Chain A
Amino acid sequence: MAQAMPPESSQERDAAAAKFRRTLTRVLIVQLVSMIVLGLIQVYYNR
């Protein structure tokens, strides 16, 4: 049932790290945009 994962080379690790950074950046940008929109609505209409 179990499948051992093959060892990663340093190139694969670098590529995976770069991919992780790109993904993290994209996700955080989307989250930031959502929060800015909600925050602006809160600030503008909370008078």
Chain B
Amino acid sequence: MHWINWTIVVVYLVYVVWDGIRLSKNTDTVSGYFVANRSLAWWVVGLSVMATQLSAVTMIGTTGQGATAGLSFIQIYLGLPLAMVILGVTIVPMLHGSGVYTAYEYLERRFDAKTRSLTSLLFLLSRGMSCGTIIAAPAVVFSAIWGIPVAWSVALIGVPTVIYTMVGGVQAVAWTDVKQMVLIVVALFGVMAALLIQMPISPHEGLRIAGATGRLNAFDFSFDLSETYTFWSGMIGGTFLMLSYFGTDQSQVQRFLTARSVDQAKSSLLMSAYWKIPLQALVLFVGVGVFLYYQFVRPPLLYNPAHESRVAAERGDAYADLQRRYDEVFTERQAAALDVADAQDDASETAAMESFRAREAELLAIRGEALALAGDVTGEPTGDVNYIIPRFVLSELPLGMAGLFIAGVMAAAMSSIAAELNALATATVIDFYQRWWRREGDDAHYLAISKGATAFWGIFACIVATYAATLGSLIEVVNQFGSFFYGSILGVFLLAMIRRASARGAFVGLIAGMTTVGFVAFRTDVAYLWQNVIGAAVVVAVGVALSGPREVPAAAA
């Protein structure tokens, strides 16, 4: 990478740590450290919510998905606007108004200590691991692109984040999120602008080519429970997923608990309701743009440069043969793409599109062979979707733009990691240390423990990220396990709003919900978005059935 791009990345890293530490004022109390004394404005919280949700996976994985599969991923967000409005009138006033530090703390007031502890423990287990994968995703890509050990790229992302999160608490997290969100959006618009300027065809012609390959199919209206992304799974399953994530996951709940009033907390969530779908469309269109750009500029046969050099070194003849065939078909596809763009009438357009699709299929087949070869040589997973955008950015964008985009990817990673570390520390200290070990202590004591907990989770996440490849199957199991209780925890919060629901009903309902979702996940091919609906429904049904009709719980105070 050119030194100017490195300078941009280094300036960003230095600035974000300096800014985070500078913002650590008023964090000498537990309330200041964990909920910013409930003093933040709605727009700060709103941008923090969006930055937390948008991770590096979005910047490199989702854009890559846009390049390979098109816009269909956007359907997962169709339920988000409605979910935000529902949360605004249910869980937000319930949690913000009750003055809790964690979502799970509320469950003890409403039900009992074991329901609180179980839900909080589930959060710690799954988020602790997922925090590692959030660091690992960009770190593995940076490691391959720059040819440095994974541990170094993990440290490059993880260490600054842990420092400012530990020192500055939630105040530093929220304010750096604001700046990181601005940087992310600027980077995305910058790449889109560069694509439009460098593209040899007009946007209209480009969209015709993208349409010919099905990449503009944003909606699939088929009602197939095994299909992951459809209009219905997004509208129904997606609504439940977003209700769970934004309403019951501490990493998001803690964002709106920092708002200065219930109304400001509601407004902060509405920012995502208005802007998430357009922003996600921008992310996916960047991917589609890169796909179009590579119709006219030959892309690498393998996007992962580490795999590319190993295959070329160890199986040079076979790779050279594939490369020669790839070059030939690419030239034919390029001509076919121009024919699609230039077609003047329906008949010539249809013929050009058929020819284009045939060349595209040939090219994909050759790439499939190259990926299989890479798998043979390296023995590693060969999916290279996450490498498409970084490779494009580093080799095709004007000087400085690559640095801006890499800084944007780091900002996306760091904003998500910081929020998660902050939430993990809060749940550890409030739900476990303060609840079970030391109930009476002064702010200085809890603050020291909180900073220690942040450092602990930061180091834990960095270790998981460094050994992510080795821990692959374990992480997968934990993530799958995490998805089992997402809808179920939402079910417990829904029960909390039903007056007759009892503590026993909530606890047994939670276990029943998780068991059912586990069964559905292992024994059926129902897509994971629907599992959130099933989990929540089972918890509510079992919880209500087990709650005596006369039992009226004490109101949560």
Q: Chain A residues in contact with chain B, CB under 8 A?
A: 1-5, 16, 20, 23-24, 27-28, 30-31, 34-35, 38-39, 41-42, 44-47
Contacts and interface: CB of A to CB of B under 8 A. Distances in A.
B98 A2 contact: yes
B57 to A, nearest CB: 22
Contacts of B353: 47
Given A1-B99, A2-B557, A47-B211, A23 B85 contact: yes
Given A41-B216, A46-B216, A3 B74 contact: no
Contacts of B98: 2-3, 5
Contacts of B208: 45
Contacts of A41: 207, 216, 218
A46 B99 contact: no
22 contacts: A1-B101, A2-B99, A2-B100, A5-B93, A23-B88, A27-B82, A27-B270, A27-B273, A28-B81, A30-B273, A30-B274, A31-B78, A31-B81, A31-B82, A31-B277, A38-B74, A42-B216, A44-B211, A45-B216, A46-B211, A46-B217, A47-B211
Nearest to B94: A5
Contacts, number: 76
How large, as a class, is the contact surface on chain B? 35 or more
Given A2-B557, A35-B219, 19 more contacts: A1-B100, A2-B100, A2-B109, A20-B85, A20-B88, A23-B88, A24-B85, A27-B274, A28-B81, A34-B278, A35-B277, A38-B74, A38-B218, A39-B218, A39-B219, A42-B71, A45-B210, A45-B211, A46-B216
Contacts of A47: 211-212, 349, 353
Nearest to A20: B89
Nearest first, the 5 closest Cβ-Cβ pairs linking A and B are: A45-B211, A38-B218, A3-B99, A5-B97, A31-B81
A20 B88 CA distance: 9
Nearest to A5: B97
Nearest to B84: A27
A30 B81 contact: yes
Interface string B287-311: 0000000000000000000000000
Contacts of A30: 81, 273-274
B381 interface: no
- Interface-centre pick from A16, A23, A24, A34 (highest chain B CB count, 10 A): A34
Contacts of A46: 211, 214, 216-217
Nearest to B97: A5
A1 B99 CA distance: 6
Contacts of A31: 78, 81-82, 273, 277
A12 to B, nearest CB: 12
Contact of A27 (B81, B217, B281): B81
Contacts of A4: 557
A41 B273 CA distance: 22
A40 B557 CA distance: 50
